[in-house]
């Protein structure tokens, strides 16, 4: 593929069409022979280009059925959006359900990130997030004491905590994110219907309100090929917050 510029052109063209939403998740691509004819390239170059896109999580090969666009979105780092806002901006249907929540004393790490004492109580919450009805992410969040009156008793199927807080006058404006690859825990496996130790993308984050006060610290674990994050020297898109 690297020796054939038309193969590189195909990677770039398909990647652009998927990122723009022109080719949506589940779309069947033309056959390798059809793509080769359109590109004026060889079938081997097309196959190599598709293999590159598959490694990036953009397409998948289904035995006997051809190549299909994956449920994928590429994101960068310059603007805060909630999971719900991010999905809606791309025509995706998001959802979620709270599977566990309880007040407890803050851990030393939570106390540091939320700017509170270790003896203070936080609300710890576990929520499964969905796209098109499919469970794709486990969100584990700990909420600062000052926002508990607004989140502690919300409905289990609350669509967006970010909007819930905004209605109470608490506007999320910025945050910090750290991304790494991890193996699925037993709880991840149970909640998402995957095997224990399956690869996952973990995003650790802290979010802040317009007044500068910490709102929550959280750990989001995504299924592979659900979302990808991208940084560019000349600019970037946005990184979704889980609310």
CATH of 5-69 given 2.40.50.140, 2.160.10.10, 3.90.550.10, 1.10.10.10: 1.10.10.10
Every domain range in the chain assigned CATH 1.10.10.10: 5-69
Where are the extended beta strands (E) located within the chain?
Answer: 59-62, 66-69, 74-75, 80-82, 94-105, 121-131, 134-143, 172-183, 199-209, 214-222, 228-229, 239-241
Q: Which residue has the tokens 């293999």?
A: 51
Predicted confidence pLDDT, tens digits, the chain (243 residues) = 344 555 667 887 887 787 666 887 778 899 989 988 888 888 888 888 888 887 766 788 888 889 988 755 444 444 456 778 777 777 778 899 999 999 999 999 999 999 999 889 999 999 999 988 999 999 999 999 999 999 999 999 998 898 899 999 998 888 888 889 999 999 999 999 999 999 999 999 999 988 889 999 999 999 987 765 554 444 444 556 666
Q: For the domain bounded by 74-241, which CATH number is listed?
A: 3.40.1410.10
């Amino acid at each position: 593929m690297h020796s054939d510029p038309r193969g590189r052109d195909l990677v770039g063209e398909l990647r652009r069409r998927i990122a723009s939403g022109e080719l949506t998740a589940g779309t069947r691509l033309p056959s390798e022979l059809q793509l080769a004819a359109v590109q004026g390239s060889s079938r081997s170059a097309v196959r190599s280009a598709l293999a590159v896109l598959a490694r990036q999580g953009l397409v998948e090969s289904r035995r006997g059925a051809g190549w299909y666009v994956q449920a994928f979105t590429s994101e960068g780092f310059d603007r805060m959006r909630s999971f719900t806002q991010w999905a809606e901006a791309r025509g995706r249907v998001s959802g979620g359900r709270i599977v566990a929540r309880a007040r407890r004393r803050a851990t030393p790490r939570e106390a540091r990130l939320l700017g509170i004492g270790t003896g203070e109580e936080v609300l710890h919450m576990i929520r499964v997030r969905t796209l098109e009805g499919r469970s794709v992410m486990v969100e584990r969040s700990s909420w600062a004491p000052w926002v508990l009156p607004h989140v502690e008793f919300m409905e289990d199927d609350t669509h967006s905590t970010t909007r819930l807080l905004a209605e109470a006058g608490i506007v999320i404006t910025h945050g910090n994110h750290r991304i790494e690859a991890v193996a699925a825990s037993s709880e991840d496996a149970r909640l998402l219907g995957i095997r224990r130790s399956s690869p996952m993308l973990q995003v650790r984050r802290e979010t802040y309100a317009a007044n500068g006060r910490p709102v929550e610290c959280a750990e989001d674990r995504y299924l592979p090929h659900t979302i990808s994050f991208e940084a560019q020297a000349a600019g970037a898109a946005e990184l979704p917050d889980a609310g």
